[in-house]
Amino acid sequence: DITGMSYAQLEATPLQWPMPEGASSGKVRLFEDGIFPTPTGRARFVAAPYTPVAEPREARYPFALTTGRLRDQWHGMSRTGTLGRLFGHVREPALHMHPQDMSRRLLAEGDLVHITSKRGSILAPVQASTEVGLSQVFLPMHWGDEFLSGHSNTGERLGGVNALTSPVFCPDSKQPELKHAAVKVLKADMPWGVTALAWLPADQVLARRTELQALMARFEFASCVLFGNDAALGQAGRTGVMFRAAGSAPPDDALLAQIEALLDLQGPDAVRYADPQRGQRRVVRLQRSTVNATLEGFLLSGDTQARDWMAALLREEQPAQNYGRALLAGGAQPPLPVLSKGKTICTCLQVSDIAITDTLSRCTGSDTERLGQLQQALQCGTNCGSCIPQLQRMVKATPVAAAAEAGA
């Protein structure tokens, strides 16, 4: 019962529920009088026997797939998924796998893989993570077919993560066993790919994303997510769209032209390179100022090796004029180093892992003291607090001796 709460009260201070109408504060402890809402007033306990997972791993499906929340997203992302800055911590759909399992299967970071259960199959890039155990993989539950999609070789549309999960449910609570399924993971042979990113006008970005999402089923693999670069809490910042796709053969030019148009890559400030015989197509849009030129959008089709360093240039709005023809030449290595600002750890205040590591090298004392010094210096973890567990892990990963020597 939260009828006693108001938005004005919640803006002023946290409140604990239940808080019925007329109450001045929430109830700290339920049932403290020992009376429960049953006919006898006594609590009912259920001694449920242990039940194993409905679908254990087996030789054909050797991985245990778990699903769950991302730190900065919520359920179907109908609201959190409309804010570009909330994609800073996890930028796009990916299957998390232990590095040893990746090595045994000759998988490299970013390789596309088929993830298959007894009910269906989807495609996603693989990402190394020591936060999952051996023979386990993790795919966030948020990646439904709105963000991750494609079609099979028979033309059937591939859905998101729920194409893999089990329909079995608890007979008492009716809770489905969505968070565990047995799967196999195989490398996908997708010789052609496209990556396109662009900053877009704030009043058009969500509509453009919706139009791009309608094109996802035209590819064997596709993902479409927002990105943003808010400078700090309360600032609007900028938002853009990232579209990725892959397949066994290039699509027709008209489909790529649609993507270009939706990302504003067809204007007079866009330059392009095309080699139809080799299936190569690159478009970049630059914005010039009196001092620098910044990369406002790009599309790489065919050879997408340059996507990482070009995406860093774009997202962080670094000067791009010194990269010249390399923006259209492709290749995994840029002609000049791209000094990335790092991965966002504190989304609220846009604090990166590089800034945190640098500050921690000068902090001394116990883990608790160093965390306090870190928060005082950078303010990370002082707003919503969701990044504090990760900050604590980073504090533990910095040896005290090293921090003390740096401070001395």
Burial tier of 166 (Cβ tally within 10 Å: 0-12, 13-18, 19+): buried
Q: Are 135 and 74 in contact (CB under 8 A)?
A: no
Q: DSSP states of 42-56 as a string?
A: ------PPP---SS-
- How far apart, in whole angstroms, are the C-alpha atoms of residue 130 and residue 133? 7
pLDDT at 403: 44
Structural element, H or E, at residue 127: strand 121-128
pLDDT of residue 401: 53
Q: Characterise 334 by phi-psi region: left (phi > 0), alpha (psi -120 to 50), beta (else).
A: beta
To the nearest 10°, report the CA torsion of 104, 106, 108, 112.
Answer: -110
Calpha distance 376→378 (Å, rounded):
6
Number of H helices, E strands in the chain: 10, 16
Structure tokens, 103: 């090595």
pLDDT in tens, the chain (408 residues): 999 999 998 888 888 999 999 998 898 888 989 999 899 999 999 888 898 999 999 999 999 999 998 888 888 888 888 888 888 778 899 999 999 999 999 999 999 999 999 999 999 999 999 999 999 999 999 998 889 988 877 777 877 898 999 999 988 889 889 899 999 999 999 999 999 999 999 999 999 999 999 999 999 999 999 999 765 444 568 999 999 999 998 888 999 999 999 999 998 889 999 888 888 899 999 998 878 889 999 999 999 999 999 999 999 888 898 888 889 987 778 888 887 788 889 988 889 999 999 999 999 999 999 999 999 999 999 988 889 999 999 999 887 754 445 445
> Which residues on adjacent β-strands are paired with residue 180?
66
What pLDDT does 185 receive? Answer: 97
Say how far apart CA 209 and CA 227 lie, in whole Å.
Answer: 11
Model's pTM, two decimal places?
A: 0.84
- Residue 291: the pLDDT is 81
Q: Are 262 and 208 in contact (CB under 8 A)?
A: yes
Give me the pLDDT at residue 322, please: 87
| The pair of three-digit structure tokens given for residue 332, joined into one six-digit string | 């995994």
Residue 199 forms beta bridges with which residues? 240
Task: State the Cα–Cα distance between residues 349 and 384, nearest whole angstrom.
Answer: 10
Label residues 224-260 b or e (16+ Cβ within 10 Å = b): bbbbbbbeeeeeeebbbbbbbbbbeebbeeeebebbb
Determine the Cα–Cα distance for residues 216 and 219; give it in Å rounded to an integer. Answer: 6
How big is the chain, counted in residues? 408
Confidence (pLDDT) at 398: 86
What pLDDT does 76 receive? Answer: 82
- Is the C-alpha dihedral spanning 101, 103, 104, 107 positive or negative? positive
Backbone phi, then psi, for 235, in 5-degree steps?
A: -100, 140
3-state helix/strand/coil string of 96-118: EECHHHHHHCCCCCCCEEEEECC
What does the angle CA 199 – CA 201 – CA 202 come to, to the nearest 5 degrees? 105
* Residues in CB range of 94: below 8 A, 6 or more apart: 124, 125, 126, 127, 139
Whole-angstrom Cα distance, residue 143 to residue 75?
A: 9
